[in-house]
A and B are shown apart, each in its own frame.
Chain A
């Protein structure tokens, strides 16, 4: 997945995604359950306006508002923007218009997609209606999109509604995804490239002379750039550790194992790694260790005892 463009700085795609959940509360629950039943609900604000989609609290007075009303599935486009290239997860796969639609009976615009052949077919003031999704689950996507419509205005323009439905939807899953191109930068690229030769290379701060591993390209204490490369290790000292007894979901390591802070010889702060090659309950602060590499591994697989005498506490107590 990695590539190295001409600058030599590493880059790679980074996708961050998670299925967040949402508790809806009473108003959003009624709104989304209503869509499942082909009912569009708004809420009466204290100033008499009907807000669609409905909100829980009055945007002017801050009062709790719960007076739901049903509005029509027809309405008028109040403004729009053409989307030439729909992206993943958008309502339509072909080019469409983002529209604000004031549904008949509503006083505010609902944001959605309008299925139209091209931007010339869209104008502010045009009449549209909801195109319902064939399968509805209680989500904004139950409105598949809007479509041009020259027919009658829908009924149900402001009729009070209890908001009560059988089997209400109380929560939704809201998957989020972000696509990045990640670069670790110059200093870490050099560090990572050196690791591929099984060497650990940090950078020394020109001001405080501390050696940073991994290097960040700048000293966080002095606020100056670092450039002088310094090879450290390969041996080091366990400065502190814990014994992990619970298995992490994404890790293929048998428990218990030891997770340690290791100050490599010549480094001025510890890095974190696993200790093996010794019973977990015999690991101790001050233990001298060395890296163990596996074929093709980007990092040492773990560290193991060197057999040297333990380091004296005073030699590493500032490096925890």
Chain B
């Protein structure tokens, strides 16, 4: 079934013959907050892009193409925002592409940009994703009243909570695991100056005592609503050689999709997610992700998705993901740190959230993650998903150039 419902981009990225190695040489983020009332959308994306240029010590003239992504246009009500953002992103006279894949868009946007470099279409590409949630209402954008249809009965978390319960039933995970993830990610966020939530006085007891909104999901186990942007500059071998700071090298990247609803869909561990991870690992020569990958930034909008995705991504056997979380393996000082940045649970500018995962993975292997740096991280996974578990995008980056 997976073959019939999945789309693949691996043909263009999986074969190493003639492919340009892709390096991340610049990363920029805004300080993510609930509302950036001081800037326009143009000002917001500009800030992230400018920081990426500064990091790479490049100028607008060095950029050959711009690839931009954001969540659905209904979220801010600007149809095709890329039209008006071209000036802010220095795209005059250059190709500019927009990518749409719902919540995974930050990841797939980066992969489209990477493909342009790998295929030697462009030498140096600026890729950027953003969301200004304060100017809109994402929940409204996702639940437009459709004639003849029953109104949505449960709100944002109500879509996810039944899948969490199904995971708990399937694996026997104790109901304490979700709070452990939230407590970890919120503490990690304290070490990340760009993270939205900085809850200095967070305790496990506070997480556990937070209101149960959509049982089994508590308030503190949900993601915030953020304004923010994230940008990366991708280039090839020659560009990497000129990079003033260590580049992150792409070792594998893939996207997969499947319908949001179909008979046999496994919301707990979607086939498209498994296939996507397998493709990335194959490209990167990874046979044992748990041992060979040093850190992972995984799209976890509700805390229980950490153990769920650990299984889906092959870091744990089916039914065993929660044990990694419970035993501290995914802590910042654990054996497989997950969401060192604080993750989506601490920062969620929806369209940018996937790219932040990709960028944070790159920061780790560049040794540039600051207080949330994993000592000696050589290989890291960035993961994004969205659209009712419809779209998956992942990349694996390393401190060394790819072998071929």
Contact = CB atoms under 8 A, between A and B. Distances in A.
B211 interface: yes
Contacts of B154: 242, 244, 248, 259, 272
B262 A241 contact: no
A318 B264 contact: yes
Given A12-B147, A248-B155, A57 B165 contact: no
Contacts of B1: 221
Contacts of B161: 242, 259
B262 A170 contact: no
Interface in A1-29: 1-2, 10, 12-14, 16, 18, 20-28
A311 to B, nearest CB: 13
Interface string B207-222: 0000111111100000
A20 B148 contact: no
Interface string B32-45: 00011111111100
7 contacts: A13-B147, A21-B134, A184-B146, A244-B158, A246-B211, A251-B153, A268-B263
A241 B264 contact: no
A51 to B, nearest CB: 10
B37 A23 contact: yes
Interface size class of B (residues with CB under 8 A): 35 or more
A299 B170 contact: no
B137 interface: yes
B217 A242 contact: yes
Nearest to B87: A57
Contacts of B137: 18
Contacts of B155: 244, 246, 248
B153 A57 contact: no
A317 interface: yes
A242 B153 contact: no
Contacts of B215: 242-245, 256
Interface in B110-144: 132, 134-137, 140-141, 144
A43 to B, nearest CB: 11
By Cβ-Cβ distance, the 3 closest A-B pairs, closest first, are A62-B90, A242-B161, A25-B40
A20 B135 contact: yes
B259 interface: yes
Contacts of B265: 269
B124 to A, nearest CB: 15
A240 B77 contact: no
A241 B38 CA distance: 42
Contact of A56 (B42, B90, B164, B166): B42
Contacts of B35: 23
B277 interface: no
A221 B213 contact: no
Contacts of B211: 245-246
B165 A56 contact: no
Contacts of A16: 74, 144
A2 B163 CA distance: 34
Nearest to B76: A20
A171 interface: yes
A221 B87 contact: no
Contact of A260 (B162, B163, B214): B162
Interface in B1-25: 1, 4-5
Residue of B148, B155, B212, B264 most packed against chain A (CB within 10 A): B148
Contacts of B213: 244-246
B140 to A, nearest CB: 6
A20 B214 contact: no
Interface in A237-279: 239-246, 248, 250-251, 253, 256, 259-261, 268-269, 272-274
B261 A241 contact: no
A273 B158 CA distance: 11
Contacts of B88: 56-57, 62
A172 B224 CA distance: 24
Contacts of B169: 240, 285, 313
Contacts of A299: 150
Contact of B4 (A18, A22, A26, A222): A222
Residue of A23, A27, A212 most packed against chain B (CB within 10 A): A23
A23 B262 contact: no
Interface residues of A, number: 72
B263 A20 contact: no
A22 B42 contact: no
Given A20-B135, A242-B165, A268-B263, A56 B92 contact: no
A76 interface: no
A93 interface: no
A221 B259 contact: yes
Given A240-B162, A320-B268, A59 B92 contact: yes
Given A59-B87, A269-B262, A273-B153, A221 B92 contact: no
A176 interface: yes
Contacts of B261: 220, 269
Given A57-B88, A242-B165, A23 B40 contact: yes
A319 B56 CA distance: 50
A191 B253 CA distance: 42
Contact of A208 (B77, B132, B263): B263
Contacts of B186: none
Contacts of A13: 147
Nearest to A56: B42
B150 A221 contact: no
A273 B37 CA distance: 39
A28 B263 contact: no
B147 A221 contact: no
Given A20-B77, A56-B46, A244-B155, 20 more contacts: A10-B148, A12-B147, A23-B37, A25-B39, A62-B89, A174-B77, A184-B149, A205-B263, A220-B5, A220-B259, A220-B261, A242-B162, A244-B153, A244-B158, A244-B215, A245-B215, A246-B155, A250-B151, A269-B261, A320-B266
A14 B148 CA distance: 10
Nearest to B214: A242
Nearest to A60: B92
A57 B134 contact: no
Given A22-B40, A25-B38, A253 B153 contact: yes
A56 B87 contact: yes
A182 B147 contact: yes
A317 to B, nearest CB: 7
Contacts of A61: 60
Nearest to A188: B148
Nearest to B215: A243
